[in-house]
Structure 1
């Protein structure tokens, strides 16, 4: 199959559990080798190679070669967005994670969604930006950055005037929107650079540092006690 042109062909590619697990493993925007993706999907390297070839041929993954190694990543933000919306109907995490596992809880609280912040924290930050008059939903797909938001974003080193309109992304665990698009990417990067957040090396989970909680409360009025199901919050980053 090469570049499937029908809905059913694309749906069939995503529907297979091992391929769905591979797509989820790449959901944070990283490029990973076949061995790591085989482990994530609980399949043999040989089986992973077959699935990866189908996903590349189907236009869902891209392959990058560095020396003798091949690295796979999502073909683009449009793929991540499609999976995110499908996951809002039936969460794909159930394929690779037990519903109440520590990892599943951590991913629900805060995770990377194609290089922007998702989960309970991502939604809470988005709602706080609206509450503080920094963003305003202009339709069911986009946010508008307001003048006060432009000023606040500049304190993080972000010039919103150079970015495309902020996109809304439907969060598949929270069933509501978080900030995505170029602004979402810049926000996650700024939060990490400022030491508020730390990305996990082993998964899509994001950890909040003590400095991060202090700054989220001081600047956005976010208190960890206000977040839903806080008892599932993972340990603070050191």
Structure 2
């Protein structure tokens, strides 16, 4: 019985330690970050790199394509927020934010106002795109989001000729929730989908050659090797051991066959 109580206590401690890992924890957003970018790119190749949690700003004109890029790792569910401050005098406009992965495949939004139309009285427009959870591995034919660089494209998709070229102020921010073991898969990419990483010559461990993107998640790329699913697998193994010990204790009996007479 002491062994059973000890195993039960160990199980309780393991479950308590796993609980925070399983929670959906938003990425912290730094405040007053002087290093946040203040301009946007005009294409995929010139996209401005931002970290998750940074609020990047840019000045532009209606009709421009504004591009940013950010890293997303396995198990994360990124949410892209975009705000456009419109000029004082304007007509009805429709703005849209799109997100593309490292292979420049457009990623669908699970929910959020990805496209929004505002009238002449609106001072700004807010857009949101909640992506699907990034997977550590996927079939080659699938369009699942994978670890690597993601691109944000912000632009107006409908406006009158009179509004073309009017100045606007844009701001974007990306936050993520860690989904944990619920999104874990058996497999991982050899390398994240970062532009240029597949064409570099790897000379040694310290020199990977030129990579077109320098951004990566805090702590590096996890590549899906760890998730809280390992913790719950361990809990399941302990429960199975407890069940086996309890079953043996209940069924072992006195150790003597019931048909053997006493004294034999």
TM-score range, shorter chain: under 0.3
Determine which structure has more spread, i.e. the larger CA radius of gyration. 2
Higher helix share: 1
| TM-score, structure 1 as length reference | 0.24
